[in-house]
Chains A and B, each alone.
Chain A
């Protein structure tokens, strides 16, 4: 009987001491957890692609709550996610248009020649380092599909030597932009379908020599444009998407036919 009593008393006393210690420690080392962080994290897509520039969705949520990042930081979620996060944060989310990746080259086998046969690792970056240019054009798509390899959505396919983005599948994460050693890929607002499909910054005659589908930098498009939405720099036309009203005048007049109105939507291909 005595043993039971002693044990009970000892255990109780230890319990009280430890309990008091825990309460004290809890108060002393208290960290404020922002409930909004969990809520914001819930809204984010959760594929941890890193396109926002943070290590993953958790890090992005923390940055949003700490007001280091805007509520529109997630390019994948787009407007829908931004509105939701805006609701949580109490900030008004400006509607952001969904951006899609766009390959600024149409140098297919039909319009440009191959310069030499490349053998080695099937990766654009390795090919560029080896010094072999697959195509005659120094600026164009290499076509070994480094962009397609990094795409988490299988939205990029290389057909006929040029990478092409399936805009319906693209989430605008921008991983392909970073992967392209030729800097050919750009994120553009989805609705602005008037785009220059070339990246060659050489003068007209040089472009003509290597590719029949290249921008020759003639500047006719810039002259045609009524809303100052197209500029020619370094012999290459570029659309200022925020000014473009999609009138299509430049498309009509382009002698090289390099400004193309994209078809409204490409049909969704079967998932790979």
Chain B
């Protein structure tokens, strides 16, 4: 077993901006917006309507189908509207808008602890589902689905993802320092579901404090160990972790569970612990507000639905009153830029990064033709050849892209774009052509059904 994967890059970390800032709870004051599609899969169905009174922890939209998740209200107040609002993705999406009364009244204060040994596997999964927990790492895959693979006995590894390889972001670092015992408790609960699995807490070596805290917490838990991984982007990607810990490569058509691995973000495991032991649904999570354009970068525990603008204010606003050039939801490698800061935080938002320079614009100015240097191939964690994929993409040779070059295995980590000396927008090209291939497949499937 190695401590890392093939390829990868070393972007400047910039974690020092916020890494020593402890998590602090931020309670929003303005209106709260809850998009119905915060997860992968079918959007949830709103079960409240305009004028309804809602409380903290109340389910305001129910999962619609198997791969879907509940949406939980994070404040108390009156439902102002169920309407289309702009969300992080830039599109208008159906959202529940709640006028926050600032009292945060709830039905429970989540202090009654249940005995984890008395709970059956079904009960654990049911509680996770009711809590609306989804993967907090970014993709937002509903966690209850992850806990129900076809062969639970075949799962060999439960990986707690604390790698946090994305530059700037530090909230999971802080979470592991402050709540190490709780995360381990969450892991023990999940290990009950997978009796043959070994728990591995994966942390990049650039977080010595978090590693020490977790090492201390795992003492006495003989099924769990801590593993320090080499600091390299994208170490925290699901595939990179499985490669580094289990030594397994697997095709894009398979899920981690098919190769005996379950990967959960440390934040998700903390949420699982809260949901199963205290019946606390997922309505708040750690988040970093950072970047050169932020006056006091810091780590928060925020309630879902808080607007970006409010959180930026809570972090001291923009430095010197100058508006940021670019604001990202997430980090600079995989985050998406937002066109407005009047968008709500969703369950998967782990950072707000405000930058003073738009690197994409600069890259666009400096872009030249491909030099065929092959650096992109050396850094690709999926072992692909981005340079040839880009050529196939340019002439829209979908078959070559998919079947000869395995372009659908691209995880869009951005390493190739980062390393490219010709400043070619490789990742964006791949994202686009992947979307086009998927659209073609959907069209072909629809045609076949007729």
Residues of A within 8 A of B361 (CB): 117, 119
A41 contacts B by Cβ under 8 Å: no
Interface string of A107-126 (1 = CB under 8 A from B): 00000000111011101011
Total inter-chain residue pairs, C-beta < 8 Å: 53
A129 contacts B by Cβ under 8 Å: yes
A83 contacts B by Cβ under 8 Å: no
Residues of A within 8 A of B339 (CB): 115-116, 131-133
Interface string of B350-392 (1 = CB under 8 A from A): 0000000010110010000000000000000000000000000
Q: Are B436 and A133 in contact (CB under 8 A)?
A: no
Give the distance in Å from the alpha carbon of A230 to the alpha carbon of B329 in the complex: 43
A138 contacts B by Cβ under 8 Å: yes
Instruction: Report which of B340, B364, B428 forms a contact with A115, defined as CB distance below 8 A.
Output: B340
Instruction: Evaluate whether A120 and B90 lie within 8 angstroms (CB atoms) in the complex, with A115-B340, A131-B336, A132-B337 already known.
Output: no
CB-CB nearest in chain A for B339:
A116
Q: How many interface residues does B have (CB within 8 Å)?
A: 22
Q: Are B336 and A130 in contact (CB under 8 A)?
A: yes
Q: Are B431 and A119 in contact (CB under 8 A)?
A: no
Residues of A within 8 A of B22 (CB): none
Give the distance in Å from the alpha carbon of A117 to the alpha carbon of B324 in the complex: 13
Q: Are B91 and A131 in contact (CB under 8 A)?
A: yes
Give, as a whole number of angstroms, the nearest-CB distance from B444 to chain A. 14
Give the distance in Å from the alpha carbon of A125 to the alpha carbon of B439 in the complex: 12
Instruction: Report which of B89, B336, B360, B436 forms a contact with A119, defined as CB distance below 8 A.
Output: B360
Q: Are B425 and A120 in contact (CB under 8 A)?
A: yes
Q: Are A120 and B89 in contact (CB under 8 A)?
A: no
Q: Are A129 and B92 in contact (CB under 8 A)?
A: no
Give the distance in Å from the alpha carbon of A129 to the alpha carbon of B435 in the complex: 8
B88 contacts A by Cβ under 8 Å: yes
Interface range, A side: 10 to 19
Instruction: Report which of B88, B90, B428 forms a contact with A126, defined as CB distance below 8 A.
Output: B428
Q: Are B432 and A123 in contact (CB under 8 A)?
A: yes
Q: Are A121 and B429 in contact (CB under 8 A)?
A: yes
Q: Are A125 and B432 in contact (CB under 8 A)?
A: yes
Give, as a whole number of angstroms, the nearest-CB distance from B93 to chain A. 10
CB-CB nearest in chain B for A115:
B339
Residues of A within 8 A of B360 (CB): 119-120
CB-CB nearest in chain B for A131:
B90
Give the distance in Å from the alpha carbon of A125 to the alpha carbon of B336 in the complex: 16
Give the distance in Å from the alpha carbon of A130 to the alpha carbon of B91 in the complex: 10
Give the distance in Å from the alpha carbon of A132 to the alpha carbon of B88 in the complex: 9
Give the distance in Å from the alpha carbon of A202 to the alpha carbon of B92 in the complex: 11
Residues of B within 8 A of A116 (CB): 337-340
Known interface pairs A120-B425, A121-B428, A129-B431; 7 further A-B residue pairs with C-beta atoms within 8 A, sorted by A's residue number: A119-B361, A120-B364, A125-B436, A126-B431, A131-B91, A132-B90, A133-B90
Binding site for A on B (CB under 8 A): 84, 88-92, 336-340, 358, 360-361, 364, 425, 428-429, 431-432, 435-436
13 A/B residue pairs, CB under 8 Å, sorted by A: A115-B340, A116-B337, A119-B364, A120-B425, A121-B428, A126-B429, A126-B431, A129-B428, A129-B432, A131-B88, A131-B91, A133-B339, A202-B84
Binding site for B on A (CB under 8 A): 115-117, 119-121, 123, 125-126, 129-133, 138, 202
